[in-house]
Amino acid sequence: MKKLLFIAFTLIIPFFLQAQNAKYQKAMGQALTEMKSAKDAESLQKLANDFGRIAQAETTEWLPAYYQSLSYMQLSLLAMSENPSKLGALLEEAQKALDQAMDISPNNSELLTLQGYIYIGHIWMDPMTNGAKYSPIVGSTLATAMELDPNNPRPYYLQAMNIYFTPEFYGGGANKALPIFEKAESLFESFELASPFHPQWGADGNAEMLAQIRG
């Protein structure tokens, strides 16, 4: 009898895991589809909440927490123009979600890229106070992301953005940023996704910056 129960149990496990995986794939697919059209604070907050729920259910997957953090970064961009007083709290939420993802997948180029993005957010919040503190950290964090995956275009894109918005007096500006934007462009063109759920943002923004610099 025990042997029969054991056999039945081992037969059930694959079906259970398959059902769980299908549920995860459906939830992620739906949320990522919604992310493409989310532009306002309400829809972005809903996305952050949705990815947060997926992350709670899928404790071995780093992507849901990654996208929760990225949603908060998109909210941070909105807050800069619409409600700057919320920026600090949104960056804290982005960091909290990213920490969860990093616990699951340390030494991950995409996660370190997003960490650099959050540090850039702190510079947005108070350039005069935070610029000197965070700019070197942004550079070193993105450099590590590049080392972990030299084919990842996103750390190059963010590095170029950071240099572009740094005053020329401090070694920044369009001319310094241009070759890095061009490096990112080349990497975006050849980048291969590990799965449909893996990060693929940045190409459009990089192209816009190149067009702006080149005139």
Total number of domains constituting the chain: 2
Q: Is residue 14 part of a domain?
A: no
If asked whether residues 84 and 114 sit together in one domain, one would say no
If asked whether residues 86 and 144 sit together in one domain, one would say no
Tell the residue number behind the tokens 């037969």, with chain if given.
Answer: 11
If asked whether residues 132 and 213 sit together in one domain, one would say yes
CA pair distance 169, 133, nearest whole angstrom:
17
Q: Do the beta carbons of residue 184 and residue 160 sit within 8 Å?
A: yes
**What are the tens digits of pLDDT across the range 84-131?**
999 999 999 999 999 999 999 999 999 999 999 999 999 999 988 998
Query: Tell me, what CATH number does 173's domain have?
Result: 1.25.40
pLDDT of amino acid 157 = 98
Structure tokens at 6: 């054991």
Tell the residue number behind the tokens 């996305």, with chain if given.
Answer: 47
Average pLDDT over residues 171-200: 96
Q: Do the beta carbons of residue 113 and residue 142 sit within 8 Å?
A: yes
State yes or no: pLDDT of 176 exceeds 70: yes
DSSP string across 99-142 = HHHHHHSSS-HHHHHHHHHHHHHHHHH-HHHHHHHHHHHHHHHH
Q: Do the beta carbons of residue 198 and residue 110 sit within 8 Å?
A: yes
State yes or no: pLDDT of 169 exceeds 90: no
If asked whether residues 118 and 100 sit together in one domain, one would say no
Task: Of 18-27, 66-75, 130-139, give the lowest mean pLDDT range.
Answer: 18-27
If asked whether residues 87 and 153 sit together in one domain, one would say no
CA distance to 144, 174, 175, 180, per residue, from 185 (Å): 19, 15, 16, 9
Q: Is residue 17 part of a domain?
A: no
Average pLDDT over residues 128-144: 93
Domain end point (choices 87, 106, 125): 106
pTM of this structure: 0.89
Q: Is residue 53 part of a domain?
A: yes
Q: What DSSP element (H or E) covers 49?
A: helix 41-57
CA pair distance 131, 126, nearest whole angstrom:
7
If asked whether residues 115 and 213 sit together in one domain, one would say yes
If asked whether residues 101 and 164 sit together in one domain, one would say no
Average pLDDT over residues 155-166: 96
If asked whether residues 154 and 78 sit together in one domain, one would say no
Domain end point (choices 106, 139, 155): 106
Which range marks the domain in which residue 91 is found? 39-106
pLDDT of amino acid 7 = 52
Number of H helices, E strands in the chain: 9, 0
Q: What residue type is 134 in one-letter code?
A: Y
